[in-house]
Structure 1
Amino acid sequence: MAYKLRLGPRDTGPFITSQGVMLGQWGMIRPNAPTRTEKDPKGRPLMTNNARSETMATRATFRDAWKNGQRCLIPATSWDEPYWGNNTFNTWWRFHRQDGVAWMLAGLWNTWTDKATGEVVPSYTMITMNCDAHPLLKLMHKPEKDKEGTILPPEKQDKRTVVPIDAADWSLWLTGNAEDALSLIQLPPMRLFKHAAVDPAKQVDLPIKA
Protein backbone atom coordinates (compact mmCIF):
# COMPACT_ATOMS: atom_id res chain seq x y z
CA MET A 1 0.00 0.00 0.00
CA ALA A 2 1.41 3.41 -0.99
CA TYR A 3 1.35 6.49 1.23
CA LYS A 4 1.97 10.20 0.73
CA LEU A 5 5.25 11.78 1.77
CA ARG A 6 3.44 14.59 3.61
CA LEU A 7 0.61 13.22 5.69
CA GLY A 8 -2.51 14.79 7.13
CA PRO A 9 -5.11 13.38 9.54
CA ARG A 10 -6.85 10.22 8.28
CA ASP A 11 -4.17 9.63 5.62
CA THR A 12 -2.44 6.25 5.51
CA GLY A 13 1.08 6.24 6.93
CA PRO A 14 3.75 3.95 8.41
CA PHE A 15 4.32 3.23 12.07
CA ILE A 16 6.59 0.83 13.93
CA THR A 17 5.39 -1.59 16.61
CA SER A 18 7.13 -4.33 18.56
CA GLN A 19 5.88 -6.63 15.80
CA GLY A 20 7.40 -4.65 12.92
CA VAL A 21 6.42 -1.92 10.46
CA MET A 22 2.74 -1.42 9.68
CA LEU A 23 0.65 0.91 7.54
CA GLY A 24 -2.52 2.39 8.95
CA GLN A 25 -4.80 5.38 9.26
CA TRP A 26 -3.38 8.38 11.10
CA GLY A 27 -6.30 8.92 13.44
CA MET A 28 -7.15 6.12 15.83
CA ILE A 29 -10.45 4.36 15.31
CA ARG A 30 -12.31 3.63 18.55
CA PRO A 31 -12.45 -0.17 19.07
CA ASN A 32 -16.27 -0.32 19.08
CA ALA A 33 -16.86 2.44 16.55
CA PRO A 34 -19.68 1.64 14.10
CA THR A 35 -17.81 3.28 11.22
CA ARG A 36 -14.23 4.03 10.30
CA THR A 37 -14.79 7.79 10.64
CA GLU A 38 -16.96 8.79 13.60
CA LYS A 39 -18.58 12.22 13.70
CA ASP A 40 -19.54 14.65 16.45
CA PRO A 41 -23.13 15.90 16.98
CA LYS A 42 -22.53 18.63 14.38
CA GLY A 43 -21.51 16.10 11.75
CA ARG A 44 -17.80 16.89 11.85
CA PRO A 45 -15.26 14.02 11.83
CA LEU A 46 -13.84 13.34 15.28
CA MET A 47 -10.15 14.23 15.41
CA THR A 48 -8.22 11.33 16.93
CA ASN A 49 -4.83 11.92 15.31
CA ASN A 50 -3.47 13.15 18.67
CA ALA A 51 -3.78 11.62 22.14
CA ARG A 52 -3.08 13.82 25.14
CA SER A 53 -0.58 12.10 27.43
CA GLU A 54 -2.51 13.27 30.48
CA THR A 55 -5.77 11.54 29.47
CA MET A 56 -4.83 8.73 27.07
CA ALA A 57 -5.21 6.13 29.83
CA THR A 58 -8.88 7.06 30.35
CA ARG A 59 -10.24 8.29 27.00
CA ALA A 60 -12.41 5.64 25.31
CA THR A 61 -10.58 5.87 21.99
CA PHE A 62 -7.10 5.36 23.45
CA ARG A 63 -7.35 3.60 26.80
CA ASP A 64 -7.35 0.01 25.52
CA ALA A 65 -4.27 0.61 23.39
CA TRP A 66 -2.47 2.18 26.34
CA LYS A 67 -3.57 -0.56 28.74
CA ASN A 68 -2.46 -3.28 26.32
CA GLY A 69 0.94 -1.72 25.69
CA GLN A 70 0.18 -1.05 22.03
CA ARG A 71 2.73 1.71 21.69
CA CYS A 72 4.38 2.63 18.42
CA LEU A 73 7.02 4.86 16.87
CA ILE A 74 5.97 7.12 14.03
CA PRO A 75 8.80 8.06 11.63
CA ALA A 76 8.83 11.64 10.38
CA THR A 77 11.50 13.53 8.46
CA SER A 78 9.91 16.69 9.84
CA TRP A 79 6.71 18.08 11.29
CA ASP A 80 4.95 21.43 10.88
CA GLU A 81 3.27 23.74 13.37
CA PRO A 82 1.68 27.20 12.96
CA TYR A 83 3.64 30.11 14.44
CA TRP A 84 1.45 33.05 15.50
CA GLY A 85 4.00 35.84 15.71
CA ASN A 86 1.63 38.73 16.31
CA ASN A 87 -1.45 36.77 17.42
CA THR A 88 -3.33 37.60 14.21
CA PHE A 89 -1.91 35.27 11.54
CA ASN A 90 0.11 32.11 11.31
CA THR A 91 3.29 31.13 9.51
CA TRP A 92 3.82 27.43 9.08
CA TRP A 93 7.04 26.38 10.78
CA ARG A 94 8.93 23.16 10.04
CA PHE A 95 10.98 21.13 12.50
CA HIS A 96 13.80 18.83 11.37
CA ARG A 97 16.40 17.10 13.48
CA GLN A 98 19.73 18.89 13.55
CA ASP A 99 21.57 15.65 12.68
CA GLY A 100 19.45 15.05 9.58
CA VAL A 101 17.94 11.73 10.64
CA ALA A 102 14.22 11.12 10.99
CA TRP A 103 12.28 11.82 14.15
CA MET A 104 10.65 8.86 15.85
CA LEU A 105 7.49 10.14 17.52
CA ALA A 106 5.64 8.42 20.36
CA GLY A 107 2.27 6.94 19.46
CA LEU A 108 -0.41 4.36 20.16
CA TRP A 109 -1.94 1.95 17.68
CA ASN A 110 -4.79 -0.52 17.35
CA THR A 111 -6.84 -2.41 14.78
CA TRP A 112 -10.52 -1.97 13.99
CA THR A 113 -12.68 -4.52 12.20
CA ASP A 114 -15.39 -3.42 9.78
CA LYS A 115 -18.36 -5.57 10.79
CA ALA A 116 -19.93 -5.23 7.34
CA THR A 117 -16.92 -6.40 5.33
CA GLY A 118 -14.59 -8.06 7.82
CA GLU A 119 -11.77 -5.71 6.79
CA VAL A 120 -9.18 -5.19 9.54
CA VAL A 121 -7.98 -1.58 9.59
CA PRO A 122 -4.84 -0.60 11.56
CA SER A 123 -4.79 2.94 12.92
CA TYR A 124 -2.53 5.05 15.08
CA THR A 125 -2.34 8.32 16.98
CA MET A 126 0.49 10.66 18.01
CA ILE A 127 0.90 11.32 21.72
CA THR A 128 1.14 14.98 22.73
CA MET A 129 2.25 16.73 25.90
CA ASN A 130 2.17 20.24 27.31
CA CYS A 131 5.08 22.35 26.06
CA ASP A 132 4.52 25.66 27.87
CA ALA A 133 8.03 25.31 29.34
CA HIS A 134 9.78 24.78 25.99
CA PRO A 135 11.49 27.93 24.63
CA LEU A 136 10.75 27.07 20.99
CA LEU A 137 7.66 24.90 20.88
CA LYS A 138 5.64 27.15 23.19
CA LEU A 139 5.72 29.80 20.45
CA MET A 140 3.62 27.65 18.14
CA HIS A 141 -0.18 27.60 17.76
CA LYS A 142 -2.77 30.29 18.26
CA PRO A 143 -2.79 31.71 21.80
CA GLU A 144 -5.81 30.65 23.84
CA LYS A 145 -8.34 33.30 24.88
CA ASP A 146 -10.90 33.62 27.65
CA LYS A 147 -14.65 34.03 27.05
CA GLU A 148 -14.21 37.79 26.60
CA GLY A 149 -11.61 37.29 23.86
CA THR A 150 -8.61 38.32 25.96
CA ILE A 151 -5.43 36.32 25.40
CA LEU A 152 -4.68 34.21 28.44
CA PRO A 153 -1.34 34.74 30.21
CA PRO A 154 1.45 32.21 29.52
CA GLU A 155 0.83 30.28 32.73
CA LYS A 156 -2.76 29.57 31.63
CA GLN A 157 -1.98 28.47 28.08
CA ASP A 158 -1.85 24.79 27.12
CA LYS A 159 0.49 24.61 24.15
CA ARG A 160 1.03 21.07 22.87
CA THR A 161 3.80 19.16 21.13
CA VAL A 162 4.44 15.68 19.80
CA VAL A 163 6.94 13.54 21.73
CA PRO A 164 10.20 12.45 20.06
CA ILE A 165 11.78 9.26 21.41
CA ASP A 166 15.59 8.91 21.40
CA ALA A 167 17.11 5.98 19.52
CA ALA A 168 18.50 4.56 22.77
CA ASP A 169 14.93 4.34 24.12
CA TRP A 170 13.09 2.87 21.13
CA SER A 171 13.05 -0.67 22.51
CA LEU A 172 11.96 0.49 25.96
CA TRP A 173 9.13 2.52 24.46
CA LEU A 174 7.88 -0.40 22.40
CA THR A 175 8.29 -3.23 24.92
CA GLY A 176 8.68 -1.71 28.39
CA ASN A 177 5.93 -1.40 30.97
CA ALA A 178 3.64 1.59 31.37
CA GLU A 179 5.88 3.21 33.98
CA ASP A 180 8.86 2.92 31.64
CA ALA A 181 6.87 4.45 28.80
CA LEU A 182 5.61 7.38 30.87
CA SER A 183 9.19 8.20 31.89
CA LEU A 184 10.05 8.75 28.21
CA ILE A 185 7.34 11.35 27.62
CA GLN A 186 9.57 14.39 27.93
CA LEU A 187 10.13 17.67 26.13
CA PRO A 188 12.86 17.39 23.48
CA PRO A 189 16.03 19.43 24.12
CA MET A 190 16.69 22.47 21.94
CA ARG A 191 19.93 20.97 20.61
CA LEU A 192 17.91 18.47 18.54
CA PHE A 193 16.17 21.09 16.42
CA LYS A 194 16.79 22.59 13.01
CA HIS A 195 13.78 24.77 12.23
CA ALA A 196 12.59 27.40 9.78
CA ALA A 197 9.49 28.77 8.06
CA VAL A 198 8.05 26.41 5.46
CA ASP A 199 7.88 29.37 3.05
CA PRO A 200 11.33 31.07 3.01
CA ALA A 201 9.64 34.36 2.12
CA LYS A 202 7.95 34.31 5.53
CA GLN A 203 11.12 33.59 7.52
CA VAL A 204 11.38 35.63 10.73
CA ASP A 205 13.53 35.56 13.84
CA LEU A 206 11.64 33.80 16.60
CA PRO A 207 11.67 35.40 20.07
CA ILE A 208 13.30 32.37 21.69
CA LYS A 209 14.30 32.87 25.30
CA ALA A 210 16.42 30.35 27.16
Structure 2
Amino acid sequence: MCTRYISPEQREIEAFWRIDRRSNQRKDWEYLLTVFPLSVASFIRRAEDVEYARELVVGQWGMIPPWSKTHVPTTARGTRLSTVNARTEGMEKSPTYKGAWARGKRCIIPAASFDEPNWETGKNVWWRFRRADGAPWGLAGLWDTWTDKDTGEVWDSYTMLTLNADGHPLMGRMHKPDPKLPPDQQDKRSLIPLEAHDFDRWLTCTVEEARAMLKVPSVGLFEAGPVLGDTAVVEP
Protein backbone atom coordinates (compact mmCIF):
# COMPACT_ATOMS: atom_id res chain seq x y z
CA MET A 1 0.00 0.00 0.00
CA CYS A 2 1.44 3.34 -1.04
CA THR A 3 1.24 6.00 1.68
CA ARG A 4 3.50 8.69 0.25
CA TYR A 5 4.56 10.00 -3.12
CA ILE A 6 6.08 13.07 -4.73
CA SER A 7 3.95 15.14 -7.07
CA PRO A 8 5.50 17.03 -9.99
CA GLU A 9 5.08 20.79 -9.86
CA GLN A 10 1.90 22.16 -11.40
CA ARG A 11 3.69 23.61 -14.43
CA GLU A 12 5.36 20.24 -15.09
CA ILE A 13 2.03 18.45 -14.99
CA GLU A 14 0.43 21.00 -17.30
CA ALA A 15 3.28 20.68 -19.80
CA PHE A 16 3.51 16.87 -19.81
CA TRP A 17 -0.24 16.27 -20.00
CA ARG A 18 -0.88 19.32 -22.20
CA ILE A 19 -3.59 20.54 -19.94
CA ASP A 20 -4.81 23.79 -18.48
CA ARG A 21 -5.40 24.07 -14.77
CA ARG A 22 -8.93 24.39 -13.48
CA SER A 23 -8.91 26.22 -10.17
CA ASN A 24 -10.95 24.44 -7.50
CA GLN A 25 -8.50 25.25 -4.73
CA ARG A 26 -9.90 26.82 -1.59
CA LYS A 27 -7.87 29.37 0.32
CA ASP A 28 -7.44 27.01 3.27
CA TRP A 29 -5.85 24.28 1.14
CA GLU A 30 -2.07 24.00 1.23
CA TYR A 31 -0.60 22.36 -1.86
CA LEU A 32 2.39 20.08 -1.13
CA LEU A 33 4.82 18.28 -3.44
CA THR A 34 5.51 15.47 -0.95
CA VAL A 35 2.09 13.91 -0.54
CA PHE A 36 0.87 11.97 2.49
CA PRO A 37 -2.62 10.69 3.40
CA LEU A 38 -5.07 13.60 3.70
CA SER A 39 -2.66 15.94 1.89
CA VAL A 40 -4.00 18.03 -0.98
CA ALA A 41 -2.44 17.40 -4.39
CA SER A 42 -3.20 17.47 -8.11
CA PHE A 43 -5.07 14.89 -10.13
CA ILE A 44 -6.40 14.81 -13.68
CA ARG A 45 -9.97 13.97 -14.56
CA ARG A 46 -12.29 14.22 -17.52
CA ALA A 47 -13.72 17.69 -18.01
CA GLU A 48 -17.49 17.66 -17.79
CA ASP A 49 -18.14 20.56 -20.13
CA VAL A 50 -15.77 19.63 -22.98
CA GLU A 51 -15.84 16.21 -24.61
CA TYR A 52 -12.58 14.24 -24.31
CA ALA A 53 -10.84 17.15 -22.54
CA ARG A 54 -8.70 16.74 -19.43
CA GLU A 55 -8.76 19.09 -16.48
CA LEU A 56 -6.24 19.48 -13.69
CA VAL A 57 -7.74 19.91 -10.24
CA VAL A 58 -6.67 19.50 -6.64
CA GLY A 59 -8.19 17.32 -3.99
CA GLN A 60 -7.57 15.37 -0.83
CA TRP A 61 -5.62 12.12 -1.11
CA GLY A 62 -8.01 9.79 0.68
CA MET A 63 -11.51 9.22 -0.68
CA ILE A 64 -14.22 10.69 1.52
CA PRO A 65 -17.09 8.19 1.90
CA PRO A 66 -20.61 9.51 1.23
CA TRP A 67 -21.67 9.03 4.86
CA SER A 68 -18.60 10.67 6.44
CA LYS A 69 -19.43 13.61 8.73
CA THR A 70 -16.02 15.23 8.15
CA HIS A 71 -13.49 15.27 5.34
CA VAL A 72 -11.41 12.81 7.38
CA PRO A 73 -12.60 9.40 6.06
CA THR A 74 -14.45 7.35 8.67
CA THR A 75 -16.63 4.28 8.81
CA ALA A 76 -20.36 4.60 9.45
CA ARG A 77 -19.57 4.16 13.15
CA GLY A 78 -17.06 6.99 13.12
CA THR A 79 -13.84 4.92 13.13
CA ARG A 80 -10.94 6.29 11.06
CA LEU A 81 -10.80 4.70 7.61
CA SER A 82 -7.79 4.43 5.27
CA THR A 83 -8.89 5.28 1.72
CA VAL A 84 -5.68 6.37 -0.02
CA ASN A 85 -5.55 3.01 -1.82
CA ALA A 86 -8.47 0.97 -3.18
CA ARG A 87 -8.20 -2.73 -3.89
CA THR A 88 -9.56 -3.24 -7.39
CA GLU A 89 -10.74 -6.74 -6.54
CA GLY A 90 -13.39 -5.40 -4.18
CA MET A 91 -14.09 -1.85 -5.31
CA GLU A 92 -17.27 -2.71 -7.24
CA LYS A 93 -18.92 -3.80 -3.98
CA SER A 94 -17.22 -1.35 -1.65
CA PRO A 95 -19.61 1.29 -0.20
CA THR A 96 -16.77 3.81 -0.45
CA TYR A 97 -15.70 3.19 -4.06
CA LYS A 98 -18.51 1.48 -5.93
CA GLY A 99 -20.37 4.67 -6.78
CA ALA A 100 -17.33 6.41 -8.27
CA TRP A 101 -16.38 3.29 -10.22
CA ALA A 102 -19.88 2.75 -11.60
CA ARG A 103 -20.19 6.41 -12.66
CA GLY A 104 -16.83 6.37 -14.46
CA LYS A 105 -15.20 8.86 -12.09
CA ARG A 106 -11.71 7.70 -12.96
CA CYS A 107 -8.67 9.92 -12.65
CA ILE A 108 -4.94 10.03 -13.32
CA ILE A 109 -2.62 10.85 -10.42
CA PRO A 110 0.66 12.45 -11.54
CA ALA A 111 3.71 11.36 -9.53
CA ALA A 112 7.41 11.99 -9.99
CA SER A 113 8.00 8.99 -7.72
CA PHE A 114 6.27 6.92 -5.07
CA ASP A 115 7.61 5.05 -2.04
CA GLU A 116 6.95 1.54 -0.76
CA PRO A 117 8.20 -0.24 2.39
CA ASN A 118 10.65 -3.14 2.06
CA TRP A 119 11.09 -5.47 5.05
CA GLU A 120 13.74 -7.86 3.68
CA THR A 121 16.26 -6.65 6.29
CA GLY A 122 13.81 -7.20 9.14
CA LYS A 123 12.90 -3.53 9.38
CA ASN A 124 11.12 -1.07 7.10
CA VAL A 125 13.46 0.40 4.51
CA TRP A 126 11.66 2.78 2.16
CA TRP A 127 12.20 2.17 -1.55
CA ARG A 128 11.58 4.85 -4.14
CA PHE A 129 10.02 4.01 -7.50
CA ARG A 130 10.53 6.12 -10.62
CA ARG A 131 9.86 5.35 -14.25
CA ALA A 132 12.91 3.98 -16.04
CA ASP A 133 12.24 6.25 -19.02
CA GLY A 134 12.33 9.38 -16.85
CA ALA A 135 8.71 10.35 -17.47
CA PRO A 136 6.32 11.03 -14.59
CA TRP A 137 3.96 8.32 -13.45
CA GLY A 138 0.32 8.57 -14.42
CA LEU A 139 -1.32 6.37 -11.79
CA ALA A 140 -4.84 5.00 -12.12
CA GLY A 141 -7.30 6.30 -9.55
CA LEU A 142 -10.88 7.15 -8.66
CA TRP A 143 -12.25 10.48 -7.48
CA ASP A 144 -15.48 11.77 -6.02
CA THR A 145 -17.03 14.91 -4.55
CA TRP A 146 -18.27 15.24 -0.99
CA THR A 147 -20.20 18.11 0.56
CA ASP A 148 -19.92 19.07 4.21
CA LYS A 149 -23.52 19.17 5.43
CA ASP A 150 -22.67 21.61 8.20
CA THR A 151 -20.74 24.21 6.18
CA GLY A 152 -21.71 23.50 2.57
CA GLU A 153 -18.04 23.21 1.60
CA VAL A 154 -17.37 20.99 -1.40
CA TRP A 155 -14.40 18.63 -1.30
CA ASP A 156 -12.89 16.65 -4.16
CA SER A 157 -10.96 13.58 -3.05
CA TYR A 158 -9.22 10.67 -4.74
CA THR A 159 -7.74 7.23 -4.21
CA MET A 160 -5.08 5.14 -5.98
CA LEU A 161 -6.11 1.75 -7.38
CA THR A 162 -4.05 -1.32 -6.48
CA LEU A 163 -3.73 -4.88 -7.73
CA ASN A 164 -2.42 -8.08 -6.18
CA ALA A 165 1.29 -8.40 -6.99
CA ASP A 166 2.18 -11.74 -5.39
CA GLY A 167 4.97 -13.25 -7.49
CA HIS A 168 5.95 -9.97 -9.14
CA PRO A 169 9.78 -9.83 -9.18
CA LEU A 170 9.84 -6.30 -7.75
CA MET A 171 6.49 -5.33 -6.22
CA GLY A 172 6.21 -8.76 -4.59
CA ARG A 173 9.22 -7.82 -2.45
CA MET A 174 7.52 -4.81 -0.90
CA HIS A 175 5.54 -4.60 2.36
CA LYS A 176 5.86 -6.62 5.53
CA PRO A 177 5.23 -10.33 4.91
CA ASP A 178 2.69 -12.25 6.95
CA PRO A 179 4.52 -15.30 8.39
CA LYS A 180 1.21 -17.16 8.68
CA LEU A 181 0.62 -17.09 4.93
CA PRO A 182 2.49 -18.85 2.08
CA PRO A 183 4.52 -16.72 -0.34
CA ASP A 184 1.91 -16.92 -3.10
CA GLN A 185 -0.92 -15.73 -0.82
CA GLN A 186 0.60 -12.62 0.77
CA ASP A 187 -1.60 -10.16 -1.14
CA LYS A 188 1.30 -7.83 -1.90
CA ARG A 189 -0.03 -4.78 -3.73
CA SER A 190 1.00 -2.75 -6.76
CA LEU A 191 -0.18 0.60 -8.04
CA ILE A 192 -1.39 0.68 -11.66
CA PRO A 193 0.61 2.94 -13.99
CA LEU A 194 -1.05 4.09 -17.18
CA GLU A 195 0.85 4.63 -20.42
CA ALA A 196 0.53 7.88 -22.36
CA HIS A 197 -1.50 6.31 -25.17
CA ASP A 198 -4.08 5.15 -22.60
CA PHE A 199 -4.57 8.42 -20.69
CA ASP A 200 -7.67 9.61 -22.56
CA ARG A 201 -9.05 6.12 -22.88
CA TRP A 202 -8.87 5.62 -19.11
CA LEU A 203 -10.76 8.85 -18.49
CA THR A 204 -13.48 8.32 -21.08
CA CYS A 205 -13.99 4.58 -21.74
CA THR A 206 -16.73 2.30 -20.43
CA VAL A 207 -16.51 0.51 -17.09
CA GLU A 208 -15.92 -2.78 -18.90
CA GLU A 209 -13.07 -1.33 -20.95
CA ALA A 210 -11.54 0.27 -17.86
CA ARG A 211 -11.62 -3.05 -16.02
CA ALA A 212 -9.56 -4.63 -18.82
CA MET A 213 -6.89 -1.93 -18.34
CA LEU A 214 -6.20 -2.95 -14.73
CA LYS A 215 -2.86 -4.76 -15.04
CA VAL A 216 0.25 -5.18 -12.91
CA PRO A 217 3.13 -3.30 -14.61
CA SER A 218 6.15 -5.08 -16.05
CA VAL A 219 9.35 -4.94 -14.02
CA GLY A 220 11.15 -3.17 -16.87
CA LEU A 221 9.02 -0.09 -16.30
CA PHE A 222 10.66 0.63 -12.94
CA GLU A 223 13.78 2.30 -11.65
CA ALA A 224 13.75 1.46 -7.93
CA GLY A 225 15.99 1.31 -4.90
CA PRO A 226 16.29 2.19 -1.20
CA VAL A 227 15.89 5.79 -0.07
CA LEU A 228 19.21 6.29 1.73
CA GLY A 229 18.88 7.31 5.36
CA ASP A 230 15.10 6.88 5.33
CA THR A 231 14.04 3.93 7.49
CA ALA A 232 11.27 3.16 9.91
CA VAL A 233 10.60 0.28 12.26
CA VAL A 234 6.82 0.38 11.87
CA GLU A 235 4.96 0.23 8.58
CA PRO A 236 2.28 2.95 8.34
TM-score of the pair, normalised by structure 2: 0.78
- Give, in whole Å, the separation in 2 of the partners of 1:68 and 1:9: 24
SS at match of 2:81: coil
* Within-5 A mapping of 1:1-210: 1=25, 2-19=30-47, 20-39=55-74, 45-86=80-121, 88-146=122-180, 152-199=181-228
Task: Indicate the residue corresponding to 1:206 in structure 2.
Answer: none
In 1, the alpha carbon distance for the partners of 2:79 and 2:67 equals 19
Distance 1:201 1:22 in 2: 31
Q: Deviations over 1:65-107 (max 9, x none)?
A: 0010000000000000011114x21110000001111000000
Q: Please, what is the CA RMSD of the aligned residues? A: 1.8
Q: Secondary structure at the match of 2:133?
A: coil
Kindly tell me: are residues 43 and 199 of structure 1, through their superposed partners in 2, closer, same or farther at Cα, counting changes over 3 Å? farther
Opposite residue 73 of structure 1, the aligned amino acid is I
Q: TM-score, normalised by structure 1?
A: 0.88
**Contact 2:165-2:189 within 8 A present in 1 as well:** yes
Q: Cα–Cα, structure 1 residues 201 and 128, in superposed 2: closer, same or farther, change >3 Å?
A: closer
Give 1:201 deviation, angstroms.
8.8
Matched residue type, 2:119: W
Structure 1: 4+ residue segments shifted above 6 A: none
- Cα 1:17/1:130, change in 2 over 3 Å: same
Q: Distance in 2 between matches of 1:117 and 1:200?
A: 43
Structure 1: gaps spanning 5 or more residues? 147-151, 203-210
Residue 42 to residue 145, structure 1, CA distance change in 2 (3 Å): farther
State how far apart, in whole Å, the 1-side matches of 2:179 and 2:64 are: 31
For residues 146-183 of structure 1, the C-alpha deviation after alignment (integer angstroms, 9 at most, x for no partner) is 3xxxxx22122110011101111111110000111111
Q: Percent identity?
A: 46
Shift of the 157–34 alpha-carbon distance from structure 1 to 2, 3 Å rule, reads: same
Mark the runs of 5 or more structure 2 residues left unpaired by the alignment. Answer: 1-24, 48-54, 232-236
For 1:40 and 1:122, locate their aligned partners in 2 and report how far apart those are by CA, in whole Å.
18
